[in-house]
């Protein structure tokens, strides 16, 4: 009974992780600029890979759980930092974002202009 439940849980986690990775890959193709693409790849890809690793830990009945937990921690700690560093370097290289009504806050900050606080509307 417990093995069957653990197998179903592991299958669900791996399937959910694979679907999130697929959504991140679709975002790489469909989104308009490098910043949106990077956001899609880092957020959906990281969460998808983390779910797959947790599913692997559940499927292995604890044999690979410690390794999977360490891999999830490293993944969740490094992926957002790497995406931030790459997006800052892209901005410095001159790739301007397709900004909406709030504008480009980083360009305003670098130019010395103050930006009004964002409203919750």
In the chain, what is the straight-line distance between the N-terminal and C-terminal CA atoms, in Å? 50
Determine the Cα–Cα distance for residues 70 and 112; give it in Å rounded to an integer. Answer: 42
User: Tens digit of pLDDT for each residue in 97-111?
Assistant: 776 666 667 777 777
In the chain, where are the structural domains located?
A: 1-96
Determine the Cα–Cα distance for residues 14 and 50; give it in Å rounded to an integer. Answer: 9
User: Tens digit of pLDDT for each residue in 7-48?
Assistant: 899 999 999 999 999 999 999 899 888 888 888 888 898 999
Indicate if the alpha-carbon torsion angle 10, 13, 18, 19 is positive or negative: positive
User: Tens digit of pLDDT for each residue in 47-57?
Assistant: 999 999 999 99
């Amino acid at each position: 009974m417990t093995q069957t439940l653990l197998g179903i849980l592991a299958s669900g986690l791996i399937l959910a992780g694979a679907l999130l990775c697929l959504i991140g890959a679709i975002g790489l193709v469909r989104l308009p600029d490098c910043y949106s693409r990077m956001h899609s790849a880092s957020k959906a890809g990281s969460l998808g890979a983390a779910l797959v690793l947790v599913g692997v830990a559940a499927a292995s009945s604890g044999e690979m759980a410690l390794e999977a937990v360490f891999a999830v921690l490293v993944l969740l700690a490094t992926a957002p930092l790497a995406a931030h560093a790459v997006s800052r370097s892209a901005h410095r290289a001159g790739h301007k974002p397709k900004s909406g009504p709030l504008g480009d806050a980083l360009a305003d900050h670098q130019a010395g202009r103050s930006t009004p606080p964002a409203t919750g509307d």
